[in-house]
Amino acid sequence: MPQLVGKQVGPTGYGLMGFCTKNPPTPKEQAFKAMRAALESGANFWNAGEFYGSPDWNTQKLLAAYFKQYPEDAEKVVLSVKGAFLFPQMIPDCSPAGLKRSIDACLADLDGTHKIDIFEPARIDPKVPLEETLKYLEDEYVSKGIIGGIGLSEVSAATIRKAVKITKIAAVEVEISLWATHTLENGVAEACAEFGIPLIAYSPIGQGMLTGQIKTLDDLAADDFRRHYPRFYPENFHLNIQLVSELNELAKKKGYTPAQLAINWVKSLSKKPGYPTVIPIPGATTAERVKENNVDIDLTSEDLKKIDETLKKFEIAGRRYPDAVPIDG
């Protein structure tokens, strides 16, 4: 079993973003059933975010409501929270004042129901020296036991190597999926393996593309946020869907859902020589989908070979995020 901040977690984690970022948010009763299903499935590493939702209703407020109803579950959950990012302006604020504002807001929303086990600045702030950010978190929060550890999000290998000289890094969260393999090629995975840092893989089903449910752009609602992402632009979508189609066929032959194939491929990276522990954090808002995502499949060497051969045939078109969104790695 992998460990984060000295606590055991399941091989698959749980991303909470989808509960509070849609309009309307997921009904509380449905959300609670899904969250309980995650724990029953062994997915006890949960990932939340200050900007996952609105100040009135976000993942921290949802967690507070959940733990008040199920207080016995609080000690089972290892919680990571992203923050220090001004979402309306799409800019990070990792100054001491920005960090304090963010962490204090998240703790207030959690309302004493749970500690922040890992706090992650959502992006590196180019205006603030990395040492200033990490030292402040270490001295004012980790050393005082207010947060359990410091994580990094969407960073380069160079940033990781710089960060470990400043303080202990508990985890690095990056996008990893069958259509986002850049982390495995740009030195990030290598750096994490070298320093024994677990990789937290968000969007392991490619922002929904690898579920097999999106076949044309018409399958996305007119106001779906993904339409603003370059990989979903019409000139790129028709190219990218070809990879998805081939992977879906492989999943079908094996008797898995495409999502199960995608998530278990990410988990399989932990077994590769020279790779760190990799924990995917798929998000799901129903108990049924949570259970599906946590089915453990032992992909054979032949399966993995076929997947690698398929990946080599395609080059994903388009940037992962719109130009306005900062990416360090």
Q: Contact, 135 vs 166, CB < 8 A?
A: yes
Q: Give me the catalytic one of 14, 52, 141, 256.
A: 52
DSSP E strand stretches across the chain: 3-4, 7-8, 14-15, 45-49, 78-83, 85-86, 91-92, 116-121, 147-153, 169-175, 199-202, 278-280
Bridge-based pairing state of the strands 7-8 and 3-4: antiparallel
End-to-end alpha carbon distance in the chain: 28
- Which are the contacts of 302, defined by CB distance < 8 A and separation ≥ 6? none
Of the candidates 189, 126, 124, 127, which has an alpha carbon nearest to the alpha carbon of residue 150? 124
Residue found under tokens 């950010």:
133
Structure tokens at 5: 């901040």
- Which are the contacts of 119, defined by CB distance < 8 A and separation ≥ 6? 80, 81, 82, 83, 103, 106, 137, 141, 147, 149, 150, 151
Check if 70 is active-site. no
Catalytic residues: 52
